[in-house]
Amino acid sequence: MQSAADIFIHIRATHAGRSSAVGGNAGSARSRKWRAPGGRTTPTVRLAELDFIERGESVIFIGPAASGKSGLASAILLKAIYAGKRALAMTAQKLFDEFTASRADRSTQKLMCRLERLDLFLIEEFGYLNTVEPRQVNDFFQLMDIRCNRKSTMLTTNLGYEKWGKFLGNDSLVAALISRLGQKSRTFAFPKDAVNLRNPKLGLAATAPRPTILNAA
């Protein structure tokens, strides 16, 4: 099974126009750094070093569907787990559903405490929600307010910041959220014409084997 570093390098190689993954075992993958032409380490690859977690920085991936946002984020999350970090991935829909369920059984505070302790929290598919209720938005803002500048949050979305207000239906809260994120975060915007990684012609696997480390959870 490929390590998180191998997966990360494979995804970056695909975006750089290279058709195959970088070879080598897990140990060699951890010890080397993929460099762009000219010998520079790219900003996205530097994320795999996990320094941003120590600084409590958040990372936002914005781009079209199938451009590799979740692949990059998941690889970083998996590497963080291997490094002993407390990390969790959840879709935005699942998170908002949990907010609603916690209101029903009065466990919202317990949920918030559990999520705020995570060293890295990945929220995926932000922009794909069935319905958005004001209480869910308030809970989301509260969680992000607690985590901002203290713990790292990764978020993948197809929506640019200018569309968040309409999506969540609360311009004032969104403005405050973006302001907080801007204090200590990095945004990676994928081009609209980014390679569609779901294109069958690329020959990429639709799914990856479940990492064994997750079976211990």
Question: Tens of pLDDT along 15-55?
Answer: 433 322 222 233 333 333 444 445 556 777 889 899 999 99
- Average pLDDT score over residue span 179-199: 76
Q: Is the pLDDT of residue 126 over 70?
A: yes
- CATH 3.40.50.11690 is the classification of domain 50-192: no
DSSP 60: E
At residue 44, the pLDDT reads 78
Are 180 and 144 contacting, i.e. CB atoms less than 8 angstroms apart? yes
DSSP 41: B
Strands of 120-126's sheet, edge to edge?
A: 87-91, 120-126, 152-157, 58-62, 185-189
Amino acid making up residue 112 = M
Q: Give pLDDT tens digits for 139-182.
A: 999 999 999 999 999 999 999 999 999 999 999 999 999 998 88
Give me the chain's average pLDDT, please: 79
Domain boundaries, the chain: 1-49, 50-192
